[in-house]
Amino acid sequence: MNTSKTTYSEELVFRPLPQLVIDANVNPQEFAAAQAAAQADYLAYWEDAAHELEWFHKWDAVLDTTNAPHYHWFPGGQCNIVHNALDRHITTGNKNKLALIWEGEAGDSKKYTYYELYREVNRLANALRSLGISKGDRVVLYLPLIPQTMITMLACAKIGAVHCMVFSGFSAKILRQRVVETQAKVVVTADGFYRNGHLIALKTLVDEALMGGSDSVETVIVVNRATLDVHMSEARDIWYDALIRQERSEAATEVMHAHDPLFILHTSGTTGEPKGVIHGHGGYMVALHRSLNWVFDIKPTDIFWCTGDLGWITGHSYVVYGPLIAGTTTVMYEGHPLYPQADRMWDIVSRYGVTVLYTAPTVIRMLMRYGHQYPRMHDLSTLRLLASAGESISPDTWLWFYKNIGHSQCPVLDTWWQTETGSCMITPFPVSVLKPGSVHRPVPGIMVDIVDDQGQAVPTGVQGNLVITQPWPSMLLDLDRNSQKYQSTYWPLKTHWYWTGDIVSRDEDGLIWIHGRSDDILNIAGHRIGNVELENAFLAHKAVAEVAVVGIPDKIKGEVGKAFVVLRPDFAVLEDRNEIIRMLKEHLRKEIGPVAVIRVIEFVDTLPHTQSGKIARHILKDREAGIAKDPSLLAES
């Protein structure tokens, strides 16, 4: 890329290299034409995109708005995402192409061609059917980054069951909540897995979660990942290998309506309870197909590596469904980027010849700390495209990634999206002129605006709420068991204005910059966690009378939690505050899991309240930011 400091509002901008423009699936003229066509008729634009995939029966209309804001994409359409992600490849040149390259933390690896993956998925699909699982049933997955996780997701989708992944970094307590909420009939887990040199015993947590029984769970399927000596409950638990041993490698693919649920994924909101976001088969696959081919510019020879965990939306969309629908080779790595040392990711890139690398700012910041000698140990010349998601990437992090990993040859795409949006909404294309720190423009077919709290558009340079002003195919279908909340959370002003909860601005070049959330949600290392969720976890401890959690900046994780705790009188008199801190941190780990990073716990006598009695977190946050509004409210530190 050429670096230019003089043009484009006189800021540091990066223009694509000529060869990249020549090779791009979508060149600047095509991009402009697609934008204009989508602006003129966004339904026709998405209909074209839908025609690129295979359907059992084509739709009667592109969009049904009768029950807005419950939108219904491609009504009458019949399909199955697995038909497009796997089945259709078996009759093409993709049959013997690598679908998945998996590497364990210990260095073991496994590769699956599309045909091999297809056979494995079919065997598990048959096994699930033999357990009585059918269309609409829910299956909870509590699994690490191993091939069986992908196989289980696809097998569920193939038979029309709804998978619900619970991130393996969550606690037994959260797992239990998800099982109860979803009324899952089956839980799929592993005996254990490897993470940063440690062996994490996962099955034990499942046993803890299901202790005392569960109304719904009939079977627990256990993958032998670590050959751990685990307790198997005779009537309930079965080893994955034993279950599929006798199964045939052909299985019928369930015919689904476009709007039928594919998965539920929980994400944090402003209230204590995480929301179960539901995505469906039809619209989701259409948007992902466009995303892979247009944004990620997929070519037949690509090796695509998205480092997201399958427990989050990034893993669902850009490790599993998107790459497979696009017929590319997807890479999955079980372990930690620093294991055994800080070059693990670069080693993987060079050994498999990764061409497109999609990761998160928190990972880049972590690796940056170790300097450029680690990337220099490896040949990274296969890379042609870099991307990041989940949180803002600061210009210095962007530049480090661009120079040290992309060798100033690869565009860095800062992609903005959410669990609810299903696929990238605002992002540069490889051919875009890039400004580090900006997420650029909405992709064609996505319409956005920036408005104040009353819905009035804000001028250039002024911060406001990001709204998506037209429905889009990969939008969430609903919230599980909570349609009311779906409406009030996401469509507060108008039934066609999706409220993202993000505060953003647009610069004089029309590019969008993300400034953070407008609501009480922390973004810890790219993971969304509600302040209230963390506070509720603290309140479950007998030492805590009152608590407020706010986000504070962190060099690596972007943001971590700080808790202001008012102790109950019998604990307030204890002198060993360090012991109380240790106890509370341990308690948080048990309640939520290692994702809940509380860096600092400060004991206070009282907390500031609003007139209506709510805790005024903004006062604490402002104080943390050095803008003390009323320090007298914080008696003790």
Residue ranges that bind ligand PRX, judged by CB under 6 A? 267, 312-314, 389-392, 414-419, 439, 500-502, 514, 517, 523, 528
Please, are residues 365 and 556 in contact by the beta-carbon 8 Å criterion? yes
β-partners of residue 548 are 564
CB of residue 60 to ligand PRX, shortest distance in Å: 32
What's the min distance (Å) between Cβ of 292 and ligand PRX? Answer: 15
Which residue's CB is nearer to ligand PRX, number 218 or number 519? 519
Q: Which is nearer to ligand PRX, 431 or 439 (CB)?
A: 439
Cβ closest to ligand PRX, residue 504 vs residue 604: 504
Contacts of 66 (CB under 8 A, 6+ apart): 72
Q: Which CB, 86 or 306, lies closer to ligand PRX?
A: 306
Residue 410 CA from chain centroid, whole number = 23
SS3 content of the chain, % helix, strand, coil (to 5): 30, 25, 45
CA–CA distance, 523 with 308 (Å, rounded to integer)? 15
Min dist. Cβ of residue 24 to ligand PRX (A): 21
Residue 118 token pair: 């297809």
Q: Please report how close the Cβ of residue 439 comes to ligand PRX at its closest, in angstroms.
A: 5
Comparing CB distances to ligand PRX, the nearer of 328 and 419 is 419
Of 313 and 477, nearer to ligand PRX (C-beta) is 313
Residue closer to ligand PRX (CB basis): 147 or 276 = 276
- The number of CA neighbours under 13 Å toward the Cβ of 435 is 20
In the bound state, the residue with its beta carbon closest to ligand PRX is 419
Q: For 374-434, what is the HEC assignment?
A: HHHCCCCCCCCEEEEECCCCCHHHHHHHHHHHCCCCCCEEEEECCCCCCCCCECCCCCCCE
Judge whether 168 and 311 are in contact, CB under 8 Å: yes
337 and 365 Cβ atoms separated by less than 8 Å: no
Smallest gap, in angstroms, from Cβ of residue 437 to ligand PRX? 9
Counting DSSP H helices and E strands in the chain, the numbers are: 21, 32
Judged by beta carbon, residue 354 or residue 426, the one nearer ligand PRX is 426
Please say which residue, 148 or 392, places its beta carbon nearer to ligand PRX: 392
Least Cβ distance, residue 342 to ligand PRX (angstroms) = 24
C-alpha distances (whole Å) from 358 to each of 174, 318, 385 are 28, 9, 8
Nearer to ligand PRX, 313 or 451 (CB): 313
Nearest to 472 by CA among 22, 5, 50: 50
- CA distances 182 to 148, 174, 393, 481, Å, are 21, 12, 35, 9
Name the nearest CA neighbour of 99 among 37, 50, 147.
147
Element (H, E) at 304: strand 303-306
- Quote the least distance from Cβ 628 to ligand PRX, whole Å: 26
For ligand PRX, give the closer residue by CB, 337 or 390. Answer: 390
State the amino acid at position 508 in one-letter form: E
Rounded to whole angstroms, the Cα distance separating 621 from 627 reads 9
DSSP 127-139: HHHHTT--TT-EE
Measured from the CB atom, is 528 or 541 closer to ligand PRX?
528
Q: Which two tokens stand for residue 27?
A: 């060149």
In whole angstroms, how close is the CB of 528 to ligand PRX at the nearest point? 4
Dist CA 535 CA 541 (whole Å): 10
Nearer to ligand PRX by C-beta: 210 or 596?
Answer: 596
**What number of other Cβ atoms are within 10 A of residue 559's Cβ?**
24
Alpha-carbon distance of 434 to 14, in angstroms, equals 5
CB of 527 to ligand PRX, least distance (A): 7
Closer to ligand PRX at the Cβ: 406 or 437?
437
CB of 167 to ligand PRX, least distance (A): 11
CA 438, CA 461: separation in Å to the nearest integer? 13
CA atoms within 13 A on the CB side of 165: 30
- Closest approach, Cβ 393 to ligand PRX, in A, equals 7
Q: How far apart are CA 397 and CA 225, in angstroms?
A: 35
Quote the least distance from Cβ 475 to ligand PRX, whole Å.
13
Q: What is the smallest separation between the CB atom of 510 and ligand PRX, expressed in angstroms?
A: 17
Measured distance CA(27)–CA(30) in Å, rounded: 5
Closest separation in Å from C-beta 438 to ligand PRX? 9
Provide the minimum distance between the beta carbon of 120 and ligand PRX in the complex, in angstroms, as a whole number.
28
Of the two residues 136 and 553, which places its CB atom closer to ligand PRX in the complex?
A: 553
Strand-strand pairing, 13-15 and 512-517: unpaired
Neighbours of 132 (CB within 10 A): 11
